[in-house]
């Protein structure tokens, strides 16, 4: 399959913002894709070269791409950089240079006397080359990566070079997310009504849309139904909803629930396969090497031969026997000096769920069964323990446990449904788990996880840096990010310097298709970074798009007086606060205001 076909499909996807049109274009792509390439095509169209948990980082920054473009098109790096400053997209830069080249100039890149047609790129060749680049390490690897990319440019048409560049920089930005691909797969290969649900479940338990898509295309939906949990392959984690009042939580959960401490740490999914322990983060990254102490402790603590358990890794003060802040734990996330940091920042792991044990899938079992089995297979020791839990049946019991959690240094509690229907909803956010944090006890001091989608340049002391950020909530039904506030307070100078540096690497020349905004930012960013913020209250807004027309016509919901709290590097944008959560919080706030007036 020629890569030119894929590039042309990308051009079509680039030209539309309509999700239904995107799905039709993806179906067209699958029609043109041979079975042996379907997995590769799905990865590349997702902007990746493999599954998330495979941690395949191409490892090429903008400066390296500029060097490669300059070398490929015979221009100086200064000239390439100047055009990049105008266009803001290195994909468009290389496309422009290649388009201006004469046919003789292009043929000068070809080798062995082959014609341009014979040298045309294939999808597999591009994918294999990008994997080769990702695996280049050690001394001289940067130069090798650049030269390998130059080799791709030599064979690429202008349009192909554009999308190769965007893929290399993780900036494909077609507006296509995994759920859109799942919908297209269901429509292309299935007639069954429950097809999308089956495909999505398989994706949630494998965390690999390419793998699932290939099984579907080759063997059909029934084969997808047979996909099972594999130890060592992460399951997409279940997320919680939020409600502000204990009474509302208890009512939602049938009058009683299990309460657990909500620890302020890094969520971890631990896989045990014999003597091997693999740790995955909420974002499906393999973090095993960062926590060698946790691996060793879990190896001894989990008595089962094969198991998948979930918990929270927290920074721990062994002398005071107290939890330490989340920011301290983040110092453990590094590739170097791991032994030193292990001694400097001890941790403790609080386990709270079981997903699989010795051949038995526990995802469809009720939460009480999962917790009971978890207690059976865990031998508690110095580092590993079970999350504190209590069954409550009324508001006073709830509040007492909540206060105990806060006194213990936790950020709140997690309320869990204990009815028979309380399964583990892999990859989904539902009301089987409801988080209740200290902030929620005041209707006007809530905290949210929002995504940065745009920025405004600072003035005065902040000149030369971003001074204000445009933040958005996530709407999973529409797969878009809806603006909810402009954030300009709570940052230290060090925070702003870090934010500016990291965000400018994510800038895009125009508003991303996944972003719904009435405001025009000075600079747009692809939705990647998640920040936790706190606001005074929620109000309707004519300038923001979160929950647009849901409360009032032509009005969205905005958070007033937002303040930056911390970076949420452990969260993907899809796990940010949702539009529905904002709507629910706004309605609850109005009710509380009415009650106070009465």
pLDDT in tens, 496-550: 888 998 998 888 888 999 999 999 999 999 999 999 998 878 999 999 999 999 9
Q: Where are the beta strands (DSSP E) in 420-465?
A: 429-437, 447-457
Question: What is the pairing mode between strands 322-323 and 306-317?
Answer: antiparallel
CATH of domain 447-597: 2.40.50.140
Q: Structure tokens of 580?
A: 């529905």
pLDDT value of position 444: 40
Tens digit of pLDDT for each residue in 400-442?
999 999 888 898 899 999 999 999 999 998 899 999 986 544 4
DSSP string computed for 158-214: HHHHHHHHHHHTT----S--HHHHHHHHHHHH---TTHHHHHHHHHHHH--HHHHHH
Distances in Å between the Cα of 327 and the Cα atoms of 11, 323, 345, 562, 565 are: 42, 12, 11, 20, 11
Domain 3-168 has CATH 1.10.3260.10: yes
Whether the pLDDT of residue 344 is over 50: the answer is yes
| CATH superfamily membership of 239-441 | DNA ligase/mRNA capping enzyme (3.30.470.30)
Q: How far apart are CA 557 and CA 577, in angstroms?
A: 13
Mean pLDDT of 89-110: 73
Is it the case that residue 105 has pLDDT exceeding 70?
no
The two structure tokens encoding residue 141: 């690897």
Please report the pLDDT score of residue 335 as a whole number.
72
Q: Between 598 and 340, whose confidence is greater?
A: 340
SS percent in the chain: helix, strand, coil, step 5? 45, 25, 35
Average pLDDT over residues 135-154: 94
pLDDT of residue 397: 95
Of all residues in the chain, the percent with pLDDT exceeding 90 is 71
- Give the separation between CA 237 and CA 424, rounded to whole angstroms: 9
Q: Is the pLDDT of residue 115 over 60?
A: no
Distance of CA 190 to the CA centre of its chain: 28
Q: Tell whether the model's pLDDT for residue 111 goes beyond 60.
A: no
Per annotation, catalytic residue among 262, 348, 513, 571: 262
Please determine, for residue 345, whether its predicted confidence score (pLDDT) is greater than 80: yes
Give the C-alpha separation, 530 to 517, whole Å.
17
Q: How many CA atoms lie within 13 A of 64 on its CB side?
A: 18
pLDDT value at position 442? Answer: 46
What Cα–Cα distance (Å) separates residue 587 from each residue in 247, 455, 490?
A: 15, 29, 27
Whether pLDDT at 88 is above 50: yes
| Eight-state DSSP code of residue 578 | B
- In the predicted structure, residue 116 carries a pLDDT above the cut 50: no
Let me know the angle formed at the C-alpha of 307 by 301 and 308, rounded to the nearest 5 degrees.
100
Are the CB atoms for 539 and 456 separated by under 8 Å? no
Whether residue 513 lies in the annotated active site: no
- Among the residue ranges 185-189, 199-203, 309-313, 538-542, the one predicted with the least confidence is 538-542
What pTM value is reported for the model?
0.85
399-404-410 Cα angle (round to 5) = 110
d(CA 439, CA 559): 15
């Amino acid at each position: 399959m020629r890569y030119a076909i894929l590039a042309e499909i990308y051009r079509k996807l680039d030209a539309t913002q309509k999700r239904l049109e995107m799905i039709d274009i993806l179906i067209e792509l699958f029609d043109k894709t041979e079975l042996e390439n379907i997995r590769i095509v799905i990865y590349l169209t997702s902007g990746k070269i493999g599954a998330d948990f495979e941690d395949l980082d191409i490892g090429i920054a903008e400066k390296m791409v500029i060097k490669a473009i300059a070398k490929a098109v015979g221009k100086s790096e200064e000239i390439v950089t100047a055009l990049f400053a105008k266009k803001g997209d290195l994909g468009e830069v290389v496309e422009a240079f290649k388009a201006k080249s004469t046919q003789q100039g292009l043929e000068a890149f070809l080798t062995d006397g082959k014609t341009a047609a014979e040298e045309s790129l294939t999808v597999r060749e591009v994918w294999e080359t990008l994997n080769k680049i990702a695996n280049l390490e050690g001394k001289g690897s940067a130069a090798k990566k650049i030269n390998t990319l130059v080799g791709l440019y030599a064979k690429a048409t202008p349009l192909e070079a554009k999308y190769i560049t965007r893929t290399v920089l993780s900036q494909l930005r077609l507006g296509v997310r995994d759920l859109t691909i799942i919908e297209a797969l269901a429509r292309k290969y299935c007639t069954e009504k429950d097809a999308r649900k089956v495909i999505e479940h398989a994706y949630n338990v494998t965390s690999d849309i390419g793998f699932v898509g290939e099984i579907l295309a080759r063997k059909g939906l029934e084969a997808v139904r047979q996909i099972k949990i594999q130890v060592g392959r992460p399951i997409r984690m279940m997320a919680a909803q939020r409600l502000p009042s204990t009474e509302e939580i208890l009512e939602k959960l049938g009058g009683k629930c299990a309460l657990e401490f909500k620890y302020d740490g890094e969520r971890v999914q631990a896989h045990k396969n014999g003597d091997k322990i693999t740790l995955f983060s909420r974002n499906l990254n393999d973090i095993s090497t960062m926590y060698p102490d946790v691996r060793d402790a879990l190896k001894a603590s989990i008595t089962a031969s094969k198991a998948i358990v979930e918990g929270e890794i927290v920074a721990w003060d062994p002398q005071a026997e107290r939890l330490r802040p989340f920011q301290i734990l983040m110092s453990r996330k590094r590739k170097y000096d791991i032994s030193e940091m292990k001694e400097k920042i001890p941790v403790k792991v609080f386990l709270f769920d079981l997903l699989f044990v010795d051949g038995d899938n526990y995802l469809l079992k009720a939460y009480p069964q999962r917790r009971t089995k978890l207690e059976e297979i865990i031998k508690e020791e110095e580092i590993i323990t079970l999350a504190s839990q209590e069954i409550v049946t009324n508001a006073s019991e709830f509040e007492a446990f909540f206060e105990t959690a806060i006194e213990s240094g936790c950020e709140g509690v997690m309320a869990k449904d204990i009815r028979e229907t309380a399964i583990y909803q892999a990859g989904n956010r539902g009301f089987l788990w409801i988080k209740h944090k200290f902030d929620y006890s005041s209707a006007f001091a809530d905290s949210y996880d929002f995504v940065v989608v745009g920025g405004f340049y600072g003035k005065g002391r902040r000149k030369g840096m971003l001074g204000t950020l445009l933040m958005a909530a996530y709407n999973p039904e529409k797969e878009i990010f809806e603006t909810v506030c402009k954030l300009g307070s709570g940052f230290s100078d060090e925070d702003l310097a870090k934010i500016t540096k990291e965000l400018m690497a994510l800038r895009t020349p125009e508003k991303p298709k996944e972003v719904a905004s009435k405001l025009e930012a000075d600079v747009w960013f692809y939705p990647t970074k998640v920040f936790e913020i706190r606001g005074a209250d929620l109000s309707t807004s004519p300038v923001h798009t979160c929950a647009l027309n849901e409360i009032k016509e032509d009005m969205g919901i905005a958070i007033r007086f937002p303040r930056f709290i911390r970076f949420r590097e452990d969260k993907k944008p899809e796990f940010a606060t949702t539009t529905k959560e904002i709507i629910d919080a706004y309605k609850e706030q109005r009710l509380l205001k009415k009650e106070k007036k009465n």
